[in-house]
Chains A and B, each alone.
Chain A
């Protein structure tokens, strides 16, 4: 495996080590961290460890720049929750925040320095259309108007097409499950909703219990196939495990819950790669107790895919096999989401759309320049 990211992993595992890095190390590390979406996290870790002043001033400035952006996003999510509390006040049952928005709103361990774009909400399936209607009244518009995309989301997936607020331009993803309707694993979102606890500042909203936060993070990473931020998502998982790992009964509840929700396999992968890359402290027997874990040969085979995929964090540490690995995982993520008769036509269509979008994606200079 590459050693070009040795300093990045060391900084994440042992933040105090950053105090000893010279400017040549930082010249690569800042770029790697920025590309991986982890520069803000390094800044937050340095601040927490009390070593911020020991870093070169230019490096501190770059970290502060990203942390400024992260703080703005956290403020923005809090404002959204003020508005959404009103918009969704008539909804029955809990509305649960997931991932980045949950970390920001509830001050959870992965939050400091983390950038995120969308707000993810989980509601009971019976409430999904009422929620959507309420959001539309509140100024949220659905973004995907293509009838195929609408069907993809509404009939097959676990979420509606993303909605954008007409004035504030915030993007919201409304979920009724954490895995698609068509997925090979049939999990139980109603149990996640049942175990959620309300936020003190925004009682209309809840966050999943600690075990569910870990399971959702692992499931999202090892099922969704978005490797651009693979290492960042693993760091989220590591932060959650370090925060909750000391709590009495946590590891047992994690295994119990994984069994109940049938998410033992993604949990296994999450724990395995957290240990390998981030040296997350996980009790010796926990990996062995993961339900539905792969056998030793299966785990080694997946190492050949997941480890190169994580290395795509930056071009400097990208493994030679990463292209093949990421493509294979991309197909796998779709295979996990839908049966074959839907999979192949979907992949062909998606690939065609992406080619067209890539041609027009980059900004013309005149738009990029003006503030």
Chain B
């Protein structure tokens, strides 16, 4: 079983996310579910980061958004429930 630090997070290929940012809010469209979500700055930055740079570890992501790992994981789990991110 992978430890937390070995888990890699990524945007699922079928999601083909479209992302737009206005001020500190993000609008994200998921191509396959056709859902459009409005999300705040920190989750938005996570999605944008994964979308731009490909798969990342939890620690890299936490560093990127300047939030502790536990909270970052919670945000990622919430995004995972919307199928915007996945992990392996």
Contacts and interface: CB of A to CB of B under 8 A. Distances in A.
Task: Decide if the interface of chain A is mainly helix, strand, loop or mixed.
Answer: helix
Contacts, number: 12
B78 interface: no
Given A78-B14, A82-B14, 10 more contacts: A72-B34, A75-B31, A75-B32, A75-B34, A76-B34, A78-B32, A79-B32, A79-B33, A79-B34, A82-B32
B10 to A, nearest CB: 16
Task: Decide if the interface of chain B is mainly helix, strand, loop or mixed.
Answer: loop
A85 B5 CA distance: 29
A76 B31 CA distance: 10
B86 to A, nearest CB: 11
Interface in B1-55: 14, 31-34
A75 B35 CA distance: 12
12 contacts: A72-B34, A75-B31, A75-B32, A75-B34, A76-B34, A78-B14, A78-B32, A79-B32, A79-B33, A79-B34, A82-B14, A82-B32
Interface of A: 72, 75-76, 78-79, 82
Contacts of A76: 34
A167 to B, nearest CB: 10
Interface of B: 14, 31-34
Nearest 7 A/B pairs, CB to CB: A79-B32, A79-B33, A78-B32, A75-B34, A82-B14, A75-B32, A82-B32
Contacts of B34: 72, 75-76, 79
Contacts of B32: 75, 78-79, 82
Nearest to B34: A75
Of the listed residues A75, A76, A79, A82, the one surrounded by the most CB atoms of chain B closer than 10 A to its CB is A79
A79 B32 CA distance: 6
A82 B32 CA distance: 9
Contacts of A72: 34
